[in-house]
Amino acid sequence: MDKSHLQNLRHSAAHLLAAAVKDLYHGAQNAIGPAIENGFYQDFDMGKWTVSEADLPKIEKRMREMLKKWGPFEEQEVTVERALKDFRDNPYKVELINDFAKEGKKITENNPGNFLDLCKGGHSKNPKVELKNFKLLSVAGAYWKGDEKKKMLTRIYGTLFPTREELDKYLWQLQEAKKRDHRKLGRELDLFVISENIGKGLPLLTPKGYQIRRQILEYEYKLEQQSGFQQVFTPHLARSEMYKKTGHWQHYRDVMYAPFGIDGDEYVLKPMNCPHHYMIYASKPRSYRELPIRLSEPGTCYRYEKTGELAGLLRVRALSIDDSHILMTDSQIESEFALCIAMVKKMFTAFALRDFYVRLSLSDPSDAVKYIADSATWKKAGDKLEKIVRNNKLNYKIAKGEASFYGPKLDFIVKDSLGREWQMSTLQLDLFMAKRLNLVYIDENGKDVNPVILHRGLTGSIERTLAILIEHFAGAFPLWLSPVQVAILPISDKQVEYSDKIRQLLEVEGIRVELNPENKTIGAKIRESTLQKIPYMVIIGAEEIQRLYISVRTREGKNLGVMNISQFIQKLKAQIEKFQ
């Protein structure tokens, strides 16, 4: 089904939800009800009423009853006076009507038979058939127009699909997603903490969480060493004047934290790493013989996210971006993009994220505010990127208006084990910033030339990547990423000393190991290690000591039998190398 048609159906379902709620809860007023990705929502001022998720089945039932009498949505343009009269009892509609009038927008009403509403259009032609596969999902709070100073409304979320099969599949995905929620697993597996004493959106990684982060960064470092990248380190703040020069101040001011003074100068916490890397490049004369220069850093940046938009590790206020900025000649663009694309592909394989496509994000020439005004350069950059994705045989989709203010980009969209899509890696082509900051190199003719810049985010945010991987693997990380790779479980106190020797042998070989010496039954220890999703369990009893062997079991419950410690270490190393 065409995506725009599906959006129309979901938007129509939002009207149906509004009709049912207003019918069941007299005095309730509906505000807005758009279609969103995977569903729809409707905001309500419930007046004297309150609703919870326990009320959703009742609302659904009323929606289905009303749907039987609905016909095609009839849409008509009306005057401001007519609209104000029709919705005089709804202050939210009145406010919208007045807003539209000031902006010179046309005002349209729609009615599927027994529910008049204000809407710009885009609805079902056959509601009785097309709207039947819906489900209400949850209830939340939302400020009117997203303004924290305005009234808190009740938001009811729902979803709709063309067929029952698609709806059932999506509901199954939601249930599985709840089980895999990285916030839930993060607590159960002791991976990260969000403390009110530290602040919202500022996650604290525990030793186990840090170990996963470390493995990701060490793997990236290994990839970068193989590809000629140079690691740098930059501070967490800079003079605000720098961001005004680059244009970030004008385009990202709403996500930057308030400036503060140091010795009479104005500083900000850095929202991105780019300017710091540019100044390393600009610190001395550069020759064309040095290019490309690939500067890399997993730098922590700070961006203001509204409290209601924070989501565990997925949306944070302190994010570590595995950034690189490649400064190069125009003739090196295609080879440098090919190099970065190969790195991204290799990394996705290590993460078992093999299903992905690329969103080719281009500028919207009609938006003179968002983008640097230079149509010829934008066209050149966009054409170059499209050639690159074709030459590298990437599956891609074009997204007009999704480019950064300084250049088009390739956004890599991966599908996880539940089929959900996540944006991860980004490669951006920048033909503007070097000229704006007077970054130059001396070419073979002795002339100053502005380099081209490739902005590379290998995964994007490390925190977001960690959240995606927790949910993708349901906490059962592959061996190379697991914070604890082996649990050693002595059957009784008599085997603790021998077990500790095994622990030391494994640690010398670089294996991350945990010894459980507690006075518990071996069954209880196995259950604990299984719940912690530790890949391997080494069970040691009197017989193992006598034969100088170990018994090995997997977290899936498979008994691998007895083997000597050297065999086990070889097995582990071979498995780690296979994934990397």
Q: Which residues are annotated as a binding site?
A: 274, 325, 455
Residues facing 154 on adjacent strands: 44, 141
233-272 per-residue burial string, b: 16 or more CB within 10 A, e: under 16: ebeebbebebbebbbbbebbeebbeebeeeeeeebbbbbb
Q: Using alpha carbons, list the distances in angstroms from residue 542 to 25, 282, 490, 517.
A: 70, 66, 9, 15
Q: Is the dihedral of CA 457, 459, 463, 467 positive or negative?
A: positive
| CA 512 remoteness from chain centre | 29
Q: Which helix (H) or strand (E) holds 42?
A: strand 39-45
> Considering only CA atoms, which of 246, 294, 293 is closest in space to residue 272?
246
Cβ distance 134 to 6 under 8 Å? no
> Considering only CA atoms, which of 532, 492, 534 is closest in space to residue 511?
534
According to DSSP, the β-strands at 35-36 and 39-45 are antiparallel
Cis peptide before 517 (omega within 30 of 0): no
Cβ distance 514 to 489 under 8 Å? no
Q: Which residues are annotated as a binding site for Zn(2+)?
A: 274, 325, 455
Residues facing 399 on adjacent strands: 361
Q: Which residues contact 72 (CB under 8 A, 6 or more apart)?
A: 112, 123, 124, 125, 126, 127
Q: How many CB atoms lie within 10 A of CB 425?
A: 25
Longest dimension (CA), the chain: 93
